[in-house]
Amino acid sequence: MFVTLAGSLALIGAVAGAYYFAMRPVTLRIAVGPANSDDIKAVQALTQAFSQARGYIRLRPVQTDGAAASAKALEDGAADLAIIRGDLDVPKNAQAVATLRKNVAVLWVPPPAKGKGKKSGPKITKIAQLAGRRIGVVGRTPANVNLLKVILQQYGVDPGKVEIIQFPAAEAADAIRNQKADAYLAAGPVNSKITADAINASTRDGGTPTFLAIDSAEAIAQNHPMYEASEIPAGAFGGSPDKPDDEVKTISFSHHIVARKGLSESTVAAFTRQLFAIRQQLMTEFPLAAKIETPDTDKDAVIPVHPGAAAFVDGEEKTFLDRYSDYIWWGLMALSAMGSAGAWFAGYLKKDERSNNSSLRERLLDMIAGARRSESIEELDRMQSDADEILRDTLRCFDDGAIEEGALTAFSIALEQFHNAVADRKTLLNSMPQNLQRAGAQFRAAATL
């Protein structure tokens, strides 16, 4: 009984411990950068929302110098998650969890400056006319320069014959007002404030900027799978008149939330579930949260999806019992085997005691026959005393667990038969004359000699 109780308590404790271990909060390090970027703001909002919701997953931002540095942090194991650009080299151990946002490439030319003594070159209306010109790139990341080069090469413009000027996003408006370049490129969400401010800074003397369409967007996407053909809606950057005044073809790329390949499937599934559950709450405070999308689960996706994220998207996420039922079953089997082994070992230790009890029971059976042949009351009393000792030893064996209840029942039947034999023999001896008892005793003594 005590062994069974101990085993049950051990099983309950093991299940409770496993449940606590599996459901305890997990903190994931997420690499993101650069400072003051939309990605940083998004991760900070998610971190706060996850903490307030007291969910299974918590986030700890790891600030980096940019998407390339974030990818490096993930590759080196310094982060569990990372925000990376889809048009940069993706670490081999990165698997997609969600699409944070999509960015479009915006190419535009400011209106010609008006005034005495100011001369402007030929009007630029096509990308092919950018050869020999100065092109300003908003942002310090080399990825934007690479994006510009891909576009120029598609239109036969040698990047080496173009003067590329980069300036920080915070200085973009001033650089454009000071006419630092002939054309500009910015990459960001369609509703990016940085891009809108830069385009608005291009408006001067009543003129509006000219947007350069990337008509070969589909060809670029075909040759470079990290890019997609896209469009900039009319009036995306506000103003009066609308900027642009019509849809403009362009290319886009995504910022992805990726996870380490070795990260637990259940952990990533829980993160993905929390991410999309909290997205609606963030939209009022952080509109960019509306851009978060599920990852591409196709096998030929540019960034392979993490199995945990795929399980959430496909509705195949495993429950606690699904994940640990095998362990629980094997645990029960192990406890059963341990109980059987313990019972056998306990029985092995008590084999001598059981053997001794068996000999006592055989002795008691022999005493039944002896009691029926006894010729004196004294001998029966001595046999009764021996039976009491046998009873005491048998009960001690039963208390120690050396014999089972069935063996005790068999002993009780034998003991009852012994008492009946003694009682019957005493009745018979008491009814016989004393001289006959003495003669019988003398006869038995002579027969023994």
pLDDT at res. 116: 46
Cα–Cα distance measured from residue 96 to residue 418, given in angstroms and rounded to the nearest whole number: 85
Q: Decide if 357 contacts 398 (C-beta within 8 A).
A: no
Residues 6+ apart with CB under 8 A from 173: 197, 198, 200, 201
pLDDT tens-digit map of 402-439: 677 777 787 788 888 888 888 888 888 887 665 555 55
pLDDT of residue 133: 94
Q: What is the pLDDT of residue 180?
A: 86
Measured distance CA(170)–CA(378) in Å, rounded: 119
Q: Rounded CA gap, 62 and 64, in Å?
A: 7
CA distance 313 to 269: 9
Q: Which pLDDT value is given to residue 353?
A: 62
Name the β-bridge partners of 105. Answer: 187
User: pLDDT tens digits for 121-172?
Assistant: 568 999 999 999 999 999 888 999 999 999 999 999 999 999 999 988 888 8
**Residue-level pLDDT at 34:** 87
172, amino acid identity: A
In the predicted model, residues of the chain with pLDDT beneath 70 are 1-5, 7, 11, 15-23, 113-122, 205-206, 317-325, 328, 335, 339, 343-355, 357, 401-402, 432-449
Per-residue pLDDT, 93: 94
Task: Note the pLDDT of residue 300.
Answer: 83
Integer Cα distance of 161 and 187 in angstroms:
22
Q: What is the pLDDT of residue 437?
A: 55
Matching residue, tokens 């996870």: 259
The C-alpha atoms of residue 83 and residue 30 are separated, in whole angstroms, by 8
Distance CA 28, CA 182 (A): 45
- 3 contact partners, CB below 8 Å, separation of at least 6: 339, 342, 343
Q: At what angle do helices 320-349 and 351-373 cross, to 10 degrees?
A: 50
Q: Which has the closest alpha carbon to 83: 252, 227, 258?
A: 258
Nearest 5°: phi and psi at 165?
-120, 125
Given a contact cutoff of 8 angstroms between Cβ atoms, the answer to whether 131 and 158 are in contact is yes
Q: Are 380 and 418 in contact (CB under 8 A)?
A: no
Euclidean distance between CA atoms 192 and 200, whole angstroms:
12
Instruction: State how far the Cα of 262 lies from the Cα of 338, in Å rounded to an integer.
Output: 34
d(CA 206, CA 223): 40
pTM as predicted: 0.67
Helix H, strand E, coil C: the string for the chain is CHHHHHHHHHHHHHHHHHHHHHHCCEEEEEEECCCCCHHHHHHHHHHHHHHHHCCCEEEEEEECCCHHHHHHHHHCCCCCEEEEECCCCCCCCEEEEEEEEEEEEEEEECCCCCCCCCCCCCCCCCHHHHCCCEEEEECCCHHHHHHHHHHHHHCCCCHHHCEEEEECHHHHHHHHHCCCCCEEEEEECCCCHHHHHHHHHCCECCECCEECCCCCHHHHHHHCCCCEEEEECCCCCCCCCCCCCCCEEEEEEEEEEEEECCCCHHHHHHHHHHHHHHHHHHCCCCHHHHHCECCCCCCCCCCCECHHHHHHHCCCCCCHHHHHHHHHHHHHHHHHHHHHHHHHHHHHHCHHHHHHHHHHHHHHHHHHHHHHHCCCHHHHHHHHHHHHHHHHHHHHHHHHCCCCHHHHHHHHHHHHHHHHHHHHHHHHHHHCCHHHHHHHHHHHHHHHC
Phi, psi of 274 (to 5 degrees): -65, -40
**Inter-residue contact 19 to 320 (CB < 8 Å):** yes
CA dihedral (53, 55, 60, 61) in degrees, to 10, reads: -60
Backbone angles phi, psi at 63, to 5 degrees: -75, 135
Which two structure tokens, joined as six digits, stand for 411? 């002993």
According to the model, what pLDDT value does residue 448 have?
55
Looking only at the bridges linking them, the beta strands covering 134-138 and 183-188 are: parallel
